[in-house]
């Protein structure tokens, strides 16, 4: 057992492997020690990624009407969430949507489609979209997220120019049946393995705040480590109205920081991304989280709006980081102080 989080960072920098006892200590860090935890995790982050932040951008190719029953998802079977529902975007529209994120600084575009998994015709459709994106933006990485893959589909995606495949484990194996019954944990592991075998970079993460215990959370992160995920998106549950997990609010900003730190200590050299729900759960501590993670999604998500992209980029710059692959970045404009016209000395209500 380590004495301080800096001791743990020293051990990880020397090639140590995080064990369960130390993982629990990270999750159980007292509130007054969280800044020290973040600083120690930040040493690992800077050792492997310097001051760079990788910016990713989501394009939702097909929204809603999914036959799977994942309890967290607004697109699930039986969801009454009032989300946008539409069929496949054209290749041209996909390229246009992707271009907006790339102009904002994204070096990776994630093309996502709802559903259990793609048909071979869907894979061909995605291949055309990838061609359109890369014709306009040859240097951008493309990550596909299309659900469970059949034999041979990962190879077709690789041949089409896809660089990475996202398929999250979401939670621990022991808890999986609590959040989904239409497919199993092993199905998800199988798809990640198919992607890796085809030469695609494996992007696989989790969703936290769904009622998991500390041990289940540790199980999930250790499973991602053992699976060899190249990037780990950490999503924070967005409890959409109209889904089984509506009204579930289990995370505080400090708890969210501890979880991100656990992912960093478990996987020091792996891309760790603060993903969906960061705005509502990390709240004002998002800039602090940048000292642990080295990646984020820019702007909006699949069915919900995120922080304004301009605010994301200003947050990165204000925290002393730089967008990976970007040239000279504009500084945030200074604002003129607003003169007080409320409260004492006025008839208007105070700002309190």
Residue ranges of E strands in the chain: 52-62, 108-113, 141-145, 164-166, 201-203, 206-208, 231-236, 271-274, 295-297, 322-323
Look at residue 116 and tell me whether its pLDDT is greater than 90: yes
pLDDT tens-digit profile of 26-68?
999 999 999 999 999 999 999 999 999 999 999 999 999 899 9
Average pLDDT for 312-333: 86
The span from the CA of 152 to the CA of 171, in Å, is 27
Q: What is the pLDDT of residue 332?
A: 66
Q: How far, in Å, are 30, 235, 264, 285, 302 from residue 54 at the CA level?
A: 30, 16, 15, 19, 19
Average pLDDT, the chain: 96
Q: What is the pLDDT of residue 329?
A: 62
Q: What is the pLDDT of residue 173?
A: 98
Q: What is the pLDDT of residue 331?
A: 67
pLDDT band at 335 (very low <50, low <70, confident <90, very high): confident
The span from the CA of 303 to the CA of 67, in Å, is 17
Per mean pLDDT, which of 70-84, 137-151, 319-333 is the most reliable? Answer: 137-151
Look at residue 95 and tell me whether its pLDDT is greater than 80: yes
What value, to the nearest 5°, has the Cα angle with vertex 317 and ends 40 and 299? 100
Look at residue 226 and tell me whether its pLDDT is greater than 90: yes
What value, to the nearest 5°, has the Cα angle with vertex 286 and ends 41 and 314? 115
Look at residue 237 and tell me whether its pLDDT is greater than 70: yes
Look at residue 328 and tell me whether its pLDDT is greater than 70: no
Average pLDDT for 228-254: 97
Q: What is the pTM of this model?
A: 0.95
Range in 182-196, 201-215, 269-283, 325-339 with the lowest mean pLDDT: 325-339
Q: What is the pLDDT of residue 32?
A: 98
Nearest alpha carbon to residue 74 among 60, 148, 65 = 65
Q: What is the pLDDT of residue 330?
A: 59
Average pLDDT for 309-336: 86
Q: What is the pLDDT of residue 146?
A: 98
Average pLDDT for 203-232: 98
Look at residue 93 and tell me whether its pLDDT is greater than 80: yes
pLDDT band at 2 (very low <50, low <70, confident <90, very high): confident
Average pLDDT for 100-105: 94
């Amino acid at each position: 057992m380590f004495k301080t989080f800096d001791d743990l960072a020293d051990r990880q920098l020397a090639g140590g492997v995080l064990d369960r006892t130390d993982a629990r200590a990270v999750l159980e860090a007292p509130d007054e020690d969280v800044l020290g935890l973040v600083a120690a995790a930040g040493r690992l982050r800077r050792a492997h990624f310097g001051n760079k932040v990788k910016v990713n951008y989501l394009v939702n190719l097909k929204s809603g009407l999914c036959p799977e029953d994942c309890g967290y998802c607004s697109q699930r079977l039986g969801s009454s969430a009032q989300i946008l529902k539409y069929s496949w975007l054209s290749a041209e529209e996909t390229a246009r949507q992707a271009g907006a994120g790339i102009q904002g600084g994204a070096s990776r575009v994630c093309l996502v489609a709802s559903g259990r998994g793609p048909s071979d015709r869907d894979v061909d459709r995605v291949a055309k979209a990838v061609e359109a994106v890369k014709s306009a933006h040859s240097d951008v990485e493309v990550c596909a997220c299309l659900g469970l893959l059949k034999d041979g589909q990962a190879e077709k995606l690789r041949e089409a120019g896809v660089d990475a495949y996202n398929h999250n484990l979401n939670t621990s194996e022991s808890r999986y049946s609590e959040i989904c019954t239409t497919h199993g944990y092993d199905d998800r592991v199988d798809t990640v393995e198919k992607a890796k075998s085809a030469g695609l970079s494996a992007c696989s993460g989790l969703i936290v705040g769904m009622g998991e215990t500390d041990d289940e959370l540790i199980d999930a992160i250790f499973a991602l480590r053992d699976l060899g995920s190249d990037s780990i998106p950490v999503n924070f549950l967005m409890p959409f109205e109209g889904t089984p997990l509506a009204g579930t609010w289990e995370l505080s900003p400090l708890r969210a920081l501890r979880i991100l730190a656990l992912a960093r200590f478990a996987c020091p050299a792996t891309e760790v991304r603060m993903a969906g729900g960061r705005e509502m759960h990390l709240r004002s501590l998002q800039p602090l989280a940048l000292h642990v993670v080295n990646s984020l999604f820019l702007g909006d998500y699949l069915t919900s709006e995120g922080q304004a992209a301009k605010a994301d980029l200003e947050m990165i710059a204000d925290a002393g980081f730089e967008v990976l692959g970007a040239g000279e970045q504009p500084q945030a404009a200074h604002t003129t102080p607003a003169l007080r016209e409320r409260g004492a000395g006025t008839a208007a209500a105070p700002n309190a």
